[in-house]
Amino acid sequence: MTSKWLFGAALAASALTAAAPASAATKFEFWYGLSGDLGERVQDVCKAFNASQADYEIVCVSQENYENNLQNTIAAFRANKQPTITQISDGGVVDLMLSGAFLPVRELMEQNGYEIQWDNYFSGIASYFANSKGEMLAMPFNSSTAMIYYNTDALKAVGFEGLPTTWEQVEDVARKMKEAGYDCPVGMDPAGTWQWWEQFMVIHNQPVATLGNGYGGLNAEVTFNQGKFVDQLTFYKRMFDEGLFVNKSKATGQTANEAFTAGDCQVTSTSIADHGSFAKQAAEGVHWEVAMLPIWEGTERQNSVVGGAALWTLKGKSEEEYKGAAAFYNFIATPEQALWWSTNTGYIPVTNSGFDSMKSSGFYDAAPYKGRELAIESLTYTPPGENSRGIRLGNFGAVRLEVAKAMQSVIFDGVDPQTALDEAAARSNEILRKFEQTYKGQQLP
Amino acid sequence: MERRAVYRNKVLPWLLIGPQLILVLVFFYWPTSQALYWAFTLEQPWGGGNAWAGFDNFLYIFRDNRYWATVLRSAFYALAATGLSMLVALTLASFVDRALKGTKLFQSVFIWPYAIAAPAAGVAFRFIFSPEAGLIGGINTIWPGIWDPATNAAHALAMVIICHAWLGIGYNFVFFLAALQMIPKSLSEAGAMDGARPFQRMMDLQLPLIAPTAFFLLIMNIISSFTDSFGLIDTMTEGGPIGQTEVMVYKIYIDGFKGLDYSGAAAQSIILMLLVISLTFVQFKWVERRVHYN
């Protein structure tokens, strides 16, 4: 409404002021949802691309986070001021698939004469960003998965050798850390649904929704309130009550990751993408290692699901700009660039050959990159199954918000986990039904 | 009756009101009609579609107990923030009105907060109230867990209301002071000679005389509690914990932009608009008559 209008007007104004002397290069915009250290690395990629050729100039604009980027891209698209490329995270995939607002990347690359070996991409990535025929819709860029990070000095202090791999062990070390005088054994923001809920579901082979987590159609219903997650949420609550898990978020004044790198909390769970940032930000004397997410004893580990984002090419731009976008995709797909990107962030190499060459060159053998291979191991632990290839639910961001509220109401307000999850599931199903109605008669591609 | 000069020109009036009319149409009626259209259809986030939904979006909202919770919360927020802000402003204004030493300094000091943008104040207050790192949070070192807006909804709401009230104090103060200074000194003096103490003079003389100002401020404060709350809540709590600082405007934002439910958000904004219109109507129709002694 008004905000859209103002947004369009602001864009128009900035476009006018930015009308600098024309250069030969075709300019096109790329909006992304990363900030801080990772945001600067994106800028590095953009600079490198611009320096590599003279025909195109990519203008990279940070929108702070994935959510803002999605909102701003939609507003811009509706005002016909969209960027050529936008970075949309895993949660927004279905919305985009049905929007008709994008050019499939495979088509774009073919039309512009680039040959990309699509089967070289990790099957987990392909199953998330491809249509049912296996054709890539978006260009894989920054892929990750959730991991758990441990302060190794704290583990040593409580006499634990190696890194915990089960929740039983996590509870055990947390309890011993507390006894040893650590105020915050595990830092956790209960709004962090991606690592604490979604990935938990996947690696424990729990269905988030019917019809293969929504891959079977828009009429899927959520089922996350029926399986192991009820117990898991009960477990989180108990850990909070015993002070073994401590609430850390922007609202408390320190996020879980900040508390971890400062040495205030001894365990945190976040994306493998933060591996690079942690190496830079960890306070002196803080030693840490990364591990795959813990599972419960007696369960069989399933592969984790890919996180991060992919690059979507939006409709309504000129042929020249599309040529530029294709050139950019081709650039980031080169082995040198892929290596640079995976080295300087914690994001995984997105192709099999990329990973193999990094592995054989000894990249993962020593600090500061040691441990990052575990993300690939986690993603490829088993072949993707019905519950672990991804989650394909419409308006998934809203479903995540419902689960976050359920988790918070259990942990902060003492609501019974089953009750909270039942309500979140009922609300999520209403969201899905509304989405289904909004896209009535449409099928997932 | 006096005769007025009349220009008989059919074009001139339209030329004169034209720009105004265009502005109103473009910036008010066009977005409103757009919102109305969305509220009665199912709007696809990326545009297009728009299946007719009739009153479904509204019924959905009315059935939602979480929506009613935000309505109650908004009402509480408006009353608490307005009451607190006006009370403190009036107290300060009556001190300054008595022309004690340093009055001039206080006059300028008190107006400063009004010059601060809501989101900036939100960031500052978030630091002040932060349970671990903040100034107020410091009491947690003495009584652990006594102050925690990160998990306690009542604390979080109090924090936002205090910040909102604080922002409005300067504005209210200026108007109250002006109103108080309009009252002839002789009136107060007469009251004093009749033996009325300052508090009694305040209740019996000054308050009734500044009632029109207070009424004006009441409307302005209540409107601002709906519009300005967004920036504060977004920077201070983002609607949390557990969505319990979501007021009506913030829920519209969450549902529309984070939840991508444009139709539901549009329906909510229509309801909010009707509510504000009726609130203003009631105030002018009933309350204003009483303050102006008509």
- pLDDT of A362 strictly over 50: yes
Report the complex ipTM: 0.84
Please give the domain boundaries of chain A with CATH numbers for all domains: 4-144+307-379 (3.40.190.10), 146-304+385-438 (3.40.190.10)
Using a CB-CB distance cutoff of 8 angstroms, which residues of chain A are in contact with residue B127? Answer: 253
Taking a C-beta distance cutoff of 8 angstroms, is the pair A160, A304 a contact? no
Chain A residue with CA closest to B134: the answer is A253
Chain B residue with CA closest to A314: the answer is B46
**What value does the mean pLDDT of chain A take?**
91
B134 touches chain A (CB under 8 A): yes
A101 touches chain B (CB under 8 A): yes
For A395, the closest of B130, B152, B259 (CB atoms) is B259
With CB atoms and an 8 Å threshold, state whether B258 touches A397.
yes
**The predicted structure's pLDDT at residue B293:** 55
A65 touches chain B (CB under 8 A): no
CA distances, A149 to each of A158, A228, A275, A289, B144 (Å): 16, 23, 9, 6, 28
The 3-state DSSP class for residue B49 equals strand
Which residue positions in chain B have pLDDT lower than 50?
294
Residues 153-212 of chain B with CB under 8 A from chain A are: 153, 156
**Residue B119 falls inside a structural domain:** yes
The arithmetic mean of pLDDT across residues A192-201, rounded, is 96
**The predicted structure's pLDDT at residue B292:** 65
**The predicted structure's pLDDT at residue B179:** 93
- pLDDT of A55 strictly over 80: yes
For A434, the closest of B242, B261, B266 (CB atoms) is B261
**The predicted structure's pLDDT at residue B2:** 67
Q: How far apart are the first and last CA of chain B?
A: 25
**Pairs of CB atoms within 8 A across A/B:** 105
With CB atoms and an 8 Å threshold, state whether B258 touches A438.
no
The arithmetic mean of pLDDT across residues A306-324, rounded, is 94
**Residue B26 falls inside a structural domain:** no
A78 touches chain B (CB under 8 A): yes
**The predicted structure's pLDDT at residue B104:** 79
B246 touches chain A (CB under 8 A): no
**Residue B248 falls inside a structural domain:** yes
Taking a C-beta distance cutoff of 8 angstroms, is the pair A67, A395 a contact? no
Using a CB-CB distance cutoff of 8 angstroms, which residues of chain B are in contact with residue A71? Answer: 257-258
**Residue B8 falls inside a structural domain:** no
Q: What domain count does chain B have? A: 1
Using a CB-CB distance cutoff of 8 angstroms, which residues of chain A are in contact with residue B242? Answer: 405, 408-409, 412-413
Using a CB-CB distance cutoff of 8 angstroms, which residues of chain B are in contact with residue A5? Answer: 27, 31
- Lowest pLDDT segment from A146-155, A302-311, B89-98: B89-98
**Residue B218 falls inside a structural domain:** yes
Residue in A196, A124, A211 with CA at minimum distance from that of residue A394 = A211
Label residue A2 by pLDDT band (50, 70, 90). very low
Domain with B244, as residue range(s), is 63-290
Using a CB-CB distance cutoff of 8 angstroms, which residues of chain B are in contact with residue A191? Answer: 240
Exposure of B83 by Cβ count < 10 A (0-12 exposed, 13-18 middle, 19+ buried)?
Answer: middle
Q: Which of A123-127, A348-352, B77-81, B258-262 is predicted most confidently?
A: B77-81
**Sheet (strand A288-292) strand order:** A245-247, A184-188, A265-271, A146-151, A288-292
Using a CB-CB distance cutoff of 8 angstroms, which residues of chain A are in contact with residue B257? Answer: 71
Taking a C-beta distance cutoff of 8 angstroms, is the pair B250, B233 a contact? yes
Which has the higher per-residue pLDDT, B182 or A151? A151
**The predicted structure's pLDDT at residue A23:** 53
For A251, the closest of B35, B47, B237 (CB atoms) is B237
Using a CB-CB distance cutoff of 8 angstroms, which residues of chain A are in contact with residue B243? Answer: 405
B272 touches chain A (CB under 8 A): no
B91 touches chain A (CB under 8 A): no
**The predicted structure's pLDDT at residue A174:** 97
Q: Residue A95 is inside which H or E element, if any?
A: helix A93-99
Q: What are phi and psi of A142, to 5 degrees?
A: -115, 100
pLDDT in tens, A157-190: 999 999 999 999 999 999 999 999 999 999 999 9
Q: Strand B41-43 to strand A146-151: parallel, antiparallel, or no bridges (unpaired)?
A: unpaired
Alpha carbons A51 and A340: distance in angstroms, whole number = 15
B245 touches chain A (CB under 8 A): no
**Residue B268 falls inside a structural domain:** yes
Burial B147-175, CB ≥16 within 10 A → b, else e: bbbbbbbebbbbbbbbbbbbbbbbbbbbb
- pLDDT of A14 strictly over 60: no
Which has the higher per-residue pLDDT, A408 or B47? A408
Q: How far is CA A175 from the centre of its chain?
A: 30
pLDDT in tens, B53-75: 889 999 999 999 999 999 999 99
The 3-state DSSP class for residue A32 equals strand
For B46, the closest of A77, A247, A254 (CB atoms) is A77
Neighbours of B79 (CB within 10 A): 14
Alpha carbons B168 and B112: distance in angstroms, whole number = 10
pLDDT in tens, A92-117: 889 899 988 999 999 999 999 999 88
List of residues 6+ apart from B289 with CB closer than 8 A: none
Using a CB-CB distance cutoff of 8 angstroms, which residues of chain B are in contact with residue A98? Answer: 44
**The predicted structure's pLDDT at residue A25:** 85
List of residues 6+ apart from B222 with CB closer than 8 A: B78, B82, B279
Residue in A410, A439, A440, A438 with CA at minimum distance from that of residue A424 = A410
- pLDDT of A4 strictly over 90: no
**Residue B10 falls inside a structural domain:** no
Residue A338, min C-alpha distance to chain B (Å): 31
For B130, the closest of A5, A252, A408 (CB atoms) is A252
Residue in B60, B42, B259, B39 with CA at minimum distance from that of residue A439 = B42
Residue in A291, A345, A419, A400 with CA at minimum distance from that of residue A141 = A345
Is 0.90 surpassed by the pTM of this model? no
The 3-state DSSP class for residue A94 equals helix
- pLDDT of A11 strictly over 80: no
Chain B residue with CA closest to A248: the answer is B150
Residue in A389, A396, A267, A413 with CA at minimum distance from that of residue B240 = A413
A133 touches chain B (CB under 8 A): no
Residue A3, min C-alpha distance to chain B (Å): 9
Taking a C-beta distance cutoff of 8 angstroms, is the pair B172, B90 a contact? yes
Alpha carbons A393 and B61: distance in angstroms, whole number = 22
**Based on C-alpha coordinates, what's the Rg of chain A?**
22
- pLDDT of A1 strictly over 50: no
- pLDDT of A201 strictly over 60: yes
Q: What is the CATH number of the domain that holds B133?
A: 1.10.3720.10
- pLDDT of A3 strictly over 80: no
Q: Which residue in the block uniquely carries the two structure tokens 């002839």?
A: B184
- pLDDT of A22 strictly over 50: no
pLDDT in tens, A245-268: 999 998 888 999 999 999 999 999
* Interface mutation target, options B46, B125, B234, B236, chain A, most CBs of A under 10 Å: B46
**Residue B48 falls inside a structural domain:** no
